[in-house]
Structure formats: C-alpha cells, structure tokens
Structure 1
C-alpha cells in the first residue's frame, strides 16, 4: 500500500511530501529511497514499492521541494534531462542531508520503526554517503554517487555500514575520482565498494535506456543482502 505523507523539516518552519510504501505485515525495518536529479518519479516510486514487497517500509522524500515541489522528470527526454542538470547545479546537498535526517526522525517517531537504512542514486548516492557520515542512519547504500571524491575527509565520521556501487565507465565519475574513492575507502572498516566493469551511470534505474539488466540485478541483490544483514 502506498500514499503521500508530509514531513516537517528539522527547523519545523517548512514541510515536504514523501512517497510512502508499506508492506503487508509488520515491517522488517525502514528504507529511505533517495532520488536522482529527476525527482520522485516513477522509477523511484517503483523502487519503494519493491522494498515494500520485500517487507520493508519505504519512504522517498521530495528533496527538490524548495525549488520545484512534486518534480518528476524523464532522463530519456533531452529537455527534461537538461532541466534536471540545471536543478542539480542549484541544489544544496547540505539541505538534502538535513531533510533526510528529518525523514529518519519522522519514521522513528510516526511509524515506530527504529532501524532505518537509506539507498540513493546519482545525487542520491552522494547524499547516502553524506547521510552515513552526518547522521545516525543504521546502514546506507549509494549507487553511482557523484562528487564523493570531493568529500572523502568526511569518511572518518562514518560509524555504521556503507555500501557503494561504482560503475567503471561512469561518464559523471571519472577514473581519477574512482581511484580516489578506492584509496580513501577500501581500508575503512565500515565501507564496502563494488566495481561494475564497463557499466555507466544510471545502470540500475528501474525504467529507461540507461538500465543494464544484468548489472542492475547483481547490484540490487548485493543491496538486498546488505540490508538484510545490517537492518535485521
């Protein structure tokens, strides 16, 4: 079952909507699904629904609400892709982490579910890394996170498990950035990195031209196993 819910910001002076999918029985745990630059579109909602089918409560907050509430873009349409890039350039990821923290607090207070993980894609992959470093989230997963190499100094603050999926042919995260991530994180006791040889950015999207079926299934299975282990 799915619905839209309203969550207050940490300051309490604003609120944002979130897509909310519930399992049929008692939730195993909760998972925050963090959007790409395309908003809480059909692909992100489908990821929530799939987690609910696996027994998790899933929440996808509308992180672009300050710029354009309810945004839904299709990355396979050039004008919409370019609009998403423009919004990404204007977006403050520090706001995003605070809004994810507000979502964690809302889940624990309003649903009674204590164990909370997050999984993010693209911008959301970066935010998953930042959430692992800046909040008490229980477990985090990032797919093709952008600009993580520019904030590796935050890795020392990561206290709970973090999994990062890195496609080696990512045209937004080049070889130097990938190398820096491995050098900084391979020996971190809380961080696991998986490379996907020859795959590009967006390979695990639910819909559209970017998806690589085999790669998506491998990465998603690893994510499922990771959450099963760390969210109980």
Structure 2
C-alpha cells in the first residue's frame, strides 16, 4: 500500500513566525495530513525570562508578522505578558501539551493553535501548567485525562521528540521555524512557505492541484521570515 502524502510542519510554540503561518497550517489540513514536529527553540538552557530587552527585540518582529499575515496580536500580549518580568518563555511545556493532546485525542495541532492564540492575543503564560490544562479544556479535552497525558509526554516523549525534530530539520535542510516539508513515497520536498505567507488559500489550492506530482512550491513571491533553530533571530 502506498503511504498517502504528509506535510511535515516544523514549529515552535513561541515562534512568532509560526503563529504567522498558522493560517497556512489550517489551509493545508483541508487537503492532506499534517504532522507537527516541535523543535524546542526556547527549551532547556534556551529558556528566556521576559525582560524589557526581550520586549524591545520581539515587538518589531511581531508587528511585521501582523502586517504580512493579518494575524492579530492583543494588548494583553504587548502590554501585559511582554511587561511581566516574572514570566519565562519556555517552549518545553507547550510542546509537551501539543504531544499530550495528540496522544489523547489526535488534537495536537488544535492545541497548538489554541496555545498560540492564548500567548499572542490573550497574553497567557503558556509555560504554566494551569494555563495548559485550561486551554485543553477550551478545545474539549477532559482535564484529568489531559493532565495524565501531559505528565507522560513530559516524562517519556518530549526530549526524544525534540531530538527527532532536529534530525528531521537536518534531513530536509530546514534552517529554522516554521518549515514545511512534503513527504511522498519516502521523499521529502522542502516547501518555500514564504511564497504563501498571508495567502493560505493559495497554498491550499496549490496542494490540491500539484500534490500528485509532488512539485516544489513556487518561490516567486518568497518572503524572508522565520525563527532560527535556537532563537527568533531571522
């Protein structure tokens, strides 16, 4: 049996450009299976406390993302979370939450989308366990079952998942987050997602019409965007 094509989505939950690319993920899911791979951009020793310097650094990028994609950023994020010096940006807990939601109900990408909105619109601290449990409830997951799955993901899956994602990045030639690689018959094609940024319907239509031939996505309108493997620096 021939394995159906899969779009591999390499992301980090605290990557602003991944939030900007969220409409592309939604559009792609209308066409084919999308598999999420969290890369741990701000996990472990790359965790960052919120500081005025961090706020000054990320805000110009966030405003550019908003202008290019139309994705909303809330005052609770700009004037709340980014001024909360007790908060820490840590990719590990929300990535574990995505794994838990996937394990529990096949809802990993739905959880990621909810966490992105919680972070960038509502200014929630998505590294905090109680926020993760609350967000799981908003997408219809049972709180007790989710907490058990979250504990299991953090204990058994998270580190191996991040390491596997880094190996996938090397394999497909991904420079950072977000990256999209189309797999067909065991072969990977790295897509030029920047060509579709802000135009999710064009990605959906391209996938529908060109998927049988697994041709590279056109790059005539590519935009340089994304976060590097260890920081949002590009």
RCO higher in structure (CA 8 A, sep ≥6)? 2
Could you say whether these structures have the same fold, taking a TM-score greater than 0.5 normalized by the shorter chain as the test?
A: no
Higher helix fraction (1 or 2): 2
Q: TM-score when scaled to structure 2?
A: 0.28
Q: TM-score when scaled to structure 1?
A: 0.28
Q: Which has the larger radius of gyration?
A: 2
Higher strand fraction (1 or 2): 1
